Structures are given as C-alpha cells and as structure tokens.
Amino acid sequence: MPNALPPHGSQLRCLAHPYDGLEAQIAKFTDPRIAPVLRGLHESEAALAVMWAYDGRSWAECAAAAGLDRAVGERVRRKLKRLGARYMQRRSAARASTVVHRPVRTTPGEQV
C-alpha cells in the first residue's frame, strides 16, 4: 500500500484561522480510505487530524498547538478510530452484498 501521507512541503494550518482549503489538504492523502473518514469529522477536528498526520506529535500536543484543550486531541483520536471502524465495516458489508453467486459446475456424470 502506498504511503498515506501527502508529499512533503504541504502547509499546515492553524485552527484559529479560517481555512477554505481543508478539502484540498485531505485530497493529498494517497490512501483512499482516509478522505471519507476525515469527512465524518467537524472541520476543526479534521484539521487537527491533518495536523497530527503532518506534525508527528501527540494528539494532546497538536491540540494545544492549535489553541484547543488538550483533551480535544484525545477525543478526536477516539472519534477517528470509531469512524474508521465504521467505514471498514460498511465497506466490507457493501462488498459482501455485491458478490455474485454462480451455480456450482459439475463434471459430466457427477450429481450435485
């Protein structure tokens, strides 16, 4: 699987400032599972998750750097785990429902 992080040189944003390009930051991730999960977050939560992905610090440290309560970082981490698990569960259910069932082939003279 390719690296999920976007290429280096992308700008991080401060959560305290208005930002219209969050979707552009999310689109830079190469793993197709990331964008749908991040879209399940509020904008400030998604921005914190993107910051965490780029920064490499802990969730609490990223939240504090963004001017948020340190507990927000842990809450976003747990929410991402829930959303990710729900995404994978729905994805596997969708795949299971699209499986085509074909009749079993038998050789001549064999009974089913």
* pLDDT per residue as tens digits for the range 55-72: 889 999 999 998 899 999
Of the candidates 15, 18, 4, the residue with the CA atom closest to the CA atom of residue 72: 15
Q: Is residue 52 part of a domain?
A: yes
- Report yes or no on 102 lying in a domain: no
Q: What is the pTM of this model?
A: 0.65
Among the ranges given (3-7, 34-38, 57-61), the one the predictor scored with the smallest mean pLDDT? 3-7
Whether residue 59 contacts residue 77, with contact meaning beta carbons closer than 8 Å, is answered with yes
Report, as an integer, the average pLDDT of 47-61.
Answer: 91
Q: What is the pLDDT of residue 4?
A: 52
Terminal C-alpha separation, the chain: 41
Q: How many domains does the chain have?
A: 1
Indicate whether 31 belongs to any domain.
no
Task: Look up the domain containing 72 and give its range.
Answer: 42-88
